[in-house]
Homo-oligomer: A and B are copies of this chain.
Amino acid sequence: MTEALLARLGAVVGAPQLLADAAAMAPYLEDWRGRFTGRARAVVLPADTAQVAAVVQACAAERVPVVPQGGRTGLVLGSVPDASGSAIVLSLRRLNRIRQVDAANGSMTVEAGCILADAHAAAQQAGMLFPLSLVSEGSCTIGGNLSSNAGGTAVLRYGNMRELCLGLEVVTAQGQVWDGLRGLRKDNTGYALRELFIGAEGTLGVITAAVLKLHPQPKAARSALVALRTPQQALDLLALLQERCGATLTGYELMSAFCLDLVASQFPALPRPFAAPPPYTALIELSSEESDAHAAALLEGALGAALDAGVARDAVVAGSLGQSRGLWQLREHIPLAQAAAGKNIKHDISLPVSAIPDFIARTGAALAAAHPGCQVVCFGHLGDGNLHYNVAPPPGVAHAAFLAQEPGVNRIVYDGVAAFGGSISAEHGIGALKRGELVRYKSAVELDMMRAIKAALDPLGIMNPGKIL
């Protein structure tokens, strides 16, 4: 990279928005989980789409890599630059406006750097709901949510980020602006470019704004914990709830006993709804567009039927919003409890829902055989077939020592996933972290198509190189 390019970037964004010294750049180079720190030639913070386009044009002219970055809460090293120091980090944080709310169309146009919680607030102000629900909502950005096709706890009812987006504005790898900000429910005029940029992790272009889909705000939500003996019971309960409650079922989370024990030991102040955690616990949420009484009656009826049918052993229903928050806190504290207990080997996998009991049984047995005493932290969005299936060391074994077993543990888990037709990344993406696994588990035909698309849209290979492919 030439000094002339740095000067040109400074002229585009204004000198104070071009960071080139180590201290100023440091926060933009660090991975969220602290596993890696990259290097960069500079960090630029453009103010609007035109500046983003000018930055990409300038970088393309010198073939300088561009790493788009949002709230940097990603979990697969997708938004930090590599160690070469050759890249420009392009932070979208200053593109954070809500451009338009169109309640009558059920849509809202926001810029990529808008914090998810701010998007929630803007929707709420208009009497609507933007349903994407993530623990990192106070830090993550809409652009990052889109680029990673974020999921979370409301996918069962509302879909992933791809289903929550109607239109995009993108700066292409050539530095052109594609105005695809359409607020349409139906549009069959050519190839699915919107869907393609969503989930591409910044490797095909830079998402600068989006039209998001809004939903009516539910009038009420009711939550419950249900005690289960087996994963198969979790499936049976899910089927029963879907059959009786339809779209009012907005959340269905599974937690193993080990997860709740971990939370209880690390956060003793949290409620303990069961005297001793059952083998598996389901956290369910119904929300109703009608009334709290409707949600309550529906939940009571469904749980009664589940108990009668022997699908559930016991249930704890939240009687208030506060109690409901308490139940969700248990679920949300699982990642925190793991972090407090020491690093483990993490997997974000998905399976056909019907395959989950067999997957859990066989993979658990294979892990126990290869790593006697290891402990599986199994929880996740069961309704979507998405498990966060983490493996912790046997009692007494140091976490750092156990982490050395990661390649072997991954092989057992991912081979199991592949055998059941699952995915090695349900909602976190590939980034730089899982590139090797992607090549192992994707067919050559699929990888070739992905490479052809990358080469077609980013022929210079400057967009977030080393991510996904």
Contacts and interface: CB of A to CB of B under 8 A. Distances in A.
Interface of A: 102-107, 148-149, 151, 155-157, 159-160, 162-163, 172, 176-193, 195-196, 198-200, 204, 216, 218, 235, 239, 242-248, 288-290, 298, 350-355, 381, 383-386, 421-430, 434, 438, 441-443, 445-446, 449-450, 452-457, 468-469
A59 to B, nearest CB: 18
Copies in the complex: 2
A274 B91 CA distance: 59
Contact of A191 (B183, B200, B426, B445): B200
B386 A352 contact: no
A190 B245 contact: no
Nearest to A218: B246
A445 B468 CA distance: 24
A443 B384 contact: no
Given A151-B186, A190-B468, A246-B290, 7 more contacts: A184-B351, A184-B385, A185-B383, A186-B386, A188-B429, A193-B446, A449-B457
A365 to B, nearest CB: 22
Contacts of A452: 456-457
A192 B188 contact: no
A456 B452 CA distance: 5
Contacts of A103: 239
Contacts of A148: 188
Given A163-B163, A172-B449, A179-B443, A155 B199 contact: no
A155 B456 contact: no
Contacts of A179: 443, 445
